C-alpha cells in the first residue's frame, strides 16, 4: 500500500517544476519543521540519474541523507524514483487554479504510517509555501 500526500499551488507549472527539481530551491523548502533544514542537495534529472538531500536538525543533534535514483521522467508532469528498496511517484497536474502536486510512496516499517504521512505532507506544504512566496 502506498501513502499519498497532495498540495495545490497557485503558480505556473514551469515554476513549480523548477522549484521541485533545482538544488538551490530544494535547500530552501525541504524541511518538515522550522527546526530542520537541508544543507546540501544534488539533482541529476534524467532516467538513471541520482539525487540526494542532506537533512539536518538545526541544533546539529541529528541528520540523514535522502537519496535515490530516477526511474522515469516526463518533464513538468511525472517523476518516478527509487530510494533504497522503496519507490515513489510525483505527479504535477495543471488546472485552472494552479498546479496540484501529488506524491505517492512506499511506507517504511520503522515509523507509523500516520507519522510518515504527516512528515511528507509537512515537507510538501513547505514546498507549496515556498513556491507561492516566490510568485509575489
CATH number at residue 74: 3.30.530.20
- For residue 88, how far is the Cα from the chain centroid? 10
Q: Is residue 100 part of a domain?
A: yes
In the numeric block, the cell 497557485 is attached to: 10
Range of the structural domain that residue 13 is part of: 3-32+70-134
The C-alpha cell that represents 134 in the structure block? 516566490
> Considering its fold, how many domains does the chain have in total?
1
Q: Is residue 43 part of a domain?
A: no
In the numeric block, the cell 516566490 is attached to: 134
Q: Is residue 65 part of a domain?
A: no
User: CB-based contacts of 60: which residues, under 8 Å, 6+ apart?
Assistant: none
What is the model's pLDDT at position 99? 98
Residue 135: band (very low, low, confident or very high) from pLDDT cuts 50, 70, 90: confident
Q: Is residue 53 part of a domain?
A: no
Calpha distance 7→79 (Å, rounded):
16
Q: Is residue 57 part of a domain?
A: no
Q: Is residue 58 part of a domain?
A: no
Mind listing the pLDDT tens digit for each residue in 15-57? Answer: 999 999 999 999 999 999 999 999 999 999 999 999 999 999 9
pTM across the whole model? 0.94
Q: Is residue 63 part of a domain?
A: no
What is the model's pLDDT at position 136? 77
Q: Is residue 27 part of a domain?
A: yes
Q: What is the mean pLDDT of the chain?
A: 96
Of the ranges 68-72, 94-98, 104-108, which one carries the lowest mean pLDDT score?
A: 94-98
Amino acid at each position: 500500500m502506498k501513502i499519498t500526500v497532495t498540495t495545490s499551488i497557485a503558480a505556473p507549472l514551469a515554476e513549480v517544476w523548477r522549484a521541485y527539481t533545482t538544488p538551490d530551491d530544494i535547500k530552501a523548502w525541504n524541511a518538515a519543521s522550522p527546526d530542520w533544514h537541508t544543507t546540501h542537495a544534488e539533482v541529476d534529472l534524467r532516467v538513471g540519474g541520482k539525487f540526494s538531500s542532506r537533512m539536518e536538525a538545526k541544533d546539529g543533534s541529528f541528520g540523514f541523507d535522502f537519496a535515490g535514483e530516477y526511474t522515469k521522467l516526463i518533464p513538468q508532469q511525472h517523476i518516478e524514483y527509487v530510494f533504497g528498496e522503496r519507490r515513489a511517484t510525483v505527479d504535477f497536474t495543471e488546472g485552472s487554479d494552479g498546479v496540484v502536486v501529488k506524491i505517492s510512496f512506499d511506507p517504511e516499517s520503522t515509523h507509523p504510517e500516520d507519522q510518515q504521512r504527516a512528515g511528507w505532507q509537512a515537507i510538501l506544504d513547505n514546498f507549496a509555501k515556498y513556491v507561492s512566496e516566490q510568485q509575489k
